[in-house]
Each structure stands twice: as structure tokens, then as C-alpha cells.
Amino acid sequence: MDSLYLCNQNLIISAGGAGLLRHYKGRVVHAIMDTYPEHQWQEWKFAIVPKGYWSNLARDLRSTDPDVRQHAMLTIREYVLYLEKKYGIQSLEQWKERIKTGVTTARRRIETLGGLENVLMIAHPEWNLSANRTSNCGDYFYS
């Protein structure tokens, strides 16, 4: 199933899925997720995430509904842990270095979610970052 994260419109059309895409108005992610509802999809893993996905997630993080906020926090935690595994990141210092030297897409996503410190406080409450907060989040990207 993980190979479906790499699907795009051209691949679906070449496999005879033009009608499926028309039904979903070209939204590859929704077409795949609805076709295989039994799979636990992580929308952020798709090659092209739905428009507004990251800003909607940031909005959900500020929601007054605790269930919506909790879901957003779990999604962010999954994303951070995925990146840590993919890039071998194990500490705040490694995060700061990785954000400065690469992972442009991840940097933009993290900025949308409130910055590195905010995202890491959600993913790693055991790091106790809020107690050591002495600078703004932007410092983690450009210092």
C-alpha cells in the first residue's frame, strides 16, 4: 500500500482510472483514501498533499474542541517521528542542523505548524523545551 503514496494523476489515468479521478475532481489523495478505507493513511506522506492540508492542521491545533486538537497533535507527532527515523535525527541539535541544511519541504511545513520548537514540544514533551524557552521559534531555523 505504501507505493500508493507516490501515485499521481498521470499514473492513475494510465492505469485506466480517469473516471475515478473525474469522480474525485482530480484529487488523487481522496480517490486513494476512499478506495482503500481499511488502510490507516497518513495524508502528509502523499507526494502531493491536499491543498491547505498543513494550514488546516495548524488551525486544528488551535481548535477549542479537544478531540480535534488531540488528533492534530497525534498527526504532528507521527510526522516528526517519521522525519526523525528517515533522517536519523535524535536530538534538538540535530533538528536545528537538519532544518538549516536541508529538508526544505519539511521546514515550510514545520513553519506552518508554528515552528520547530512548537512541533518538537508536541512530539517530544519529555525534552521539556517549554521550560528552556529563551528565544523565538525562528531562531531554530536561521541561527
Domain range summary for the chain, segments of one domain joined by +: 2-45, 53-142
Each residue's pLDDT tens digit, 86-105: 999 999 899 988 888 876 78
pLDDT for 137: 46
pLDDT at 121: 93
Instruction: Specify the pLDDT at position 52.
Output: 94
Three-state DSSP class for residue 35? helix
Nearest-angstrom CA–CA distance, 96 and 23: 43
On whether the CB atoms of residues 95 and 83 are closer than 8 A, the answer is: no
Would you state the pLDDT for residue 132? 54
Alpha-carbon distance 14 to 65, whole Å?
42
| CA distance linking residue 105 with residue 88, whole number of Å | 17
- pLDDT of 138 above 80: no
- pTM for the whole thing? 0.80
pLDDT at 97: 87
